[in-house]
Amino acid sequence: MAAVEVRIPPQIARELGAQRWESIDADTVAGMVDALDLRYPGIAAQLLTPEGTPRAWINIFIDERDIRSLDGMATKLRPDLKVYIVPAIGGG
């Protein structure tokens, strides 16, 4: 398994008592979310649809690349990667 650093959005971190950066051991993005959910129950429901894909307002980046342009939730992780969970910002 790869140990990756995951940036948790501040509003979710506060709500669940998580740190802004969490070290997670996982082989894929899906495994990373599962590991986060074991540590902070309910985080997966905030990040993913019932089908297991990122919600429309959640973006997940691996070293500046959106997982939607990679292999989605099946994207493989390597040691020392930085993963950013970023809520979309709307305005008008």
Residue 88 clears pLDDT 90, i.e. is over it: no
13 inside domain: yes
* pLDDT of res. 89: 74
Q: Could you tell me the CATH number of the domain that includes residue 60? A: 3.10.20.30
Q: Is the pLDDT of residue 77 over 60?
A: yes
Q: So what's the pLDDT on residue 2?
A: 76
Instruction: Give the range of the structural domain holding residue 6, as residue numbers without chain letter.
Output: 2-87
Q: Give a yes or no: residue 14 inside a domain.
A: yes
Note the pLDDT tens digit of each residue in 2-48. Answer: 799 999 999 899 999 999 999 999 999 999 999 999 999 999 999 99
68, part of any domain: yes
Question: What distance in Å separates the CA atoms of residue 79 and residue 61, rounded to the nearest whole number?
Answer: 15
pLDDT at 40: 96
* Beta-sheet strands, E only, within the chain: 2-7, 21-26, 58-62, 65-66, 82-87
Number of compact structural domains in the chain: 1
